Structure formats: C-alpha cells, structure tokens
Amino acid sequence: MFENKVVWITGASSGIGEALALEFAREGAFLVLSARRENELKRVAELTGLSPEKVLVLPMDMLEISHFPSKIQQVLDTFGHIDILIQNAGVSQRSLIKATNFQVYRDIMEIDYFSIVALTKAVLPVMISNNSGHFVAISSVAGKIGTPYRSGYCGAKHALIGFFDSLRAECFKDHISVTTICPGYIKTAISLNAVSGDGQKHGRMDQNQAKGMEADVCARKILKAVKNKKNEVFVGGFYEGLGLLVKRFFPSLLFKMVRNVNVN
C-alpha cells in the first residue's frame, strides 16, 4: 500500500512522529522527516534503516511559514511528488485560563493551527495537480472534549478538526483524502514540553500520559486508518473512548464529569 509512496511527517523527531517514521519505513515508503532538531531527525532517519536515497531529513520551524515554498521545492526536487502529508507538529498546554497570558493563546494557535493550515495550503496545489494525495492531521481527543488546564490546546485542536472537515469536503473531486486522527493519552513527552500560563515549559510528565498507549502501537493504528482512508479515527485507551461516547450521547453528563478530570 505504501511501497514507494512519498510520506512527509512533521514533528518527526520524537513521539508519535518518530514512531510513524519507523512504521512507514517498514512499509517501504520514501520519507521526508521534518522538525526543528536536525540531529534528532538524523537519529530517526538512521533508525528507519532506509538507504539515504529513500529518506530526506528536512529541518524546518513550523512558525517560519515564509520558508514553506522552498521546503516543498526541496521535497519535489528530491522525490518528484508528495503522496501523504502527516501534520504532527504541535505543542500542548498546562494552565488555568485565569493564569494564562493572552500571548500564550496566540502562540499555541500559531503552532497548532495556523502553521498547519499554512503548510496544508502550500502543499495543496501540488496534490491537486497530481489529482491525488492524502492529508493526515494529528488532532486530539482534546479537539472533541474541553478539559481544565487545556483551554488553548483544546481550542486549537477543535479548530483543526473543523478546518480538515472542510478540506475533505472541498477536495473530494480532486481525489484527495483527508484523515483526522484524535489520539488520547499516548506515552510521549508532550506534557513535558507543554507550555505553562507564562509560556515556560511545564516540565512534568502527566500521570495519565505516563500510563498511556505506547507510541508504536498508536503509529500502527494510524497507519491502518490512513491505509483504509478513514475520515476520522480515535486512537487511545478505554477512558478517553468512553469520554467520547458520553459526549456524543449524554453531553450534559460529560460536562459534569470533566470538572473533576485529573490534570496532572
């Protein structure tokens, strides 16, 4: 299915992005690995076991939107096309609304929403001209359920789901697929790297995160969803899945339940 497909993964230097790179490599894909830390990207590229001509290490800062056209051209110069773009880059949050600087909200939206919209728009003409392509957006259960200490993150992930729902509807006739992934608790460093109310790193591992699904298990489930061209898929544990069901059928109950969510 993914043999010789060009798969571009942002946020590929760790966590879900790294796990996805390893899984797609096993499937025979050509990889483009992007994140800010070039040394970590090179480490992941080596772990894939792919020959140098099958993997492009492409460092990029998602906030440097003006650089996107040149980055896309590098991919096209190397592989000739882009089959799948996996938008995995992002940052989480750990702070109460009353204790969060407004600038923190702007920064979260720039990283978790606007940069992703910008890269999608930049790659879209390439896929339209090829009359094929697949966008994969890594949103979150937080894009469905708002909880304490995550207001900015939840807002950005809600927005992401809405944007990609619209893209899916608009690009159907261009034979472009859109898959939105909503992970629950996945055992990554996302809480360590989350921002606090003053914009500093949270620097602590959440208990729920530490007990979450392994990143490689998550990656395999995402590959299955992409392979089957699913529209939207939840990937996570029992309690997050239960929360989604309660939100759907008993929303008033869910709104009461989240008041007591353990945010640590």
Give buried/exposed letters for 40-57 (b at 16+ CB in 10 A, else e): bbeebbeebebeeebbbb
Runs of H (alpha helix) within 61-150: 68-79, 102-109, 115-130
Are the beta carbons of 177 and 84 closer than 8 angstroms?
no
Among the options 113, 149, 153, 185, which is catalytic? 153
| Residue 8 three-state SS | strand
Residue with token string 């989350």: 194
Look at residues 155, 84, 89 and name the one whose alpha carbon lies nearest to residue 118: 89
List CB contacts of 222: < 8 A, sequence separation 6 or more.
16, 20, 23, 136, 138, 181, 233, 235
Report d(CA 40, CA 27) in Å as an integer. 22
In the residue annotation, 153 being an active-site residue is answered as yes
Report d(CA 12, CA 192) in Å as an integer. 17
- Positions marked catalytic: 153
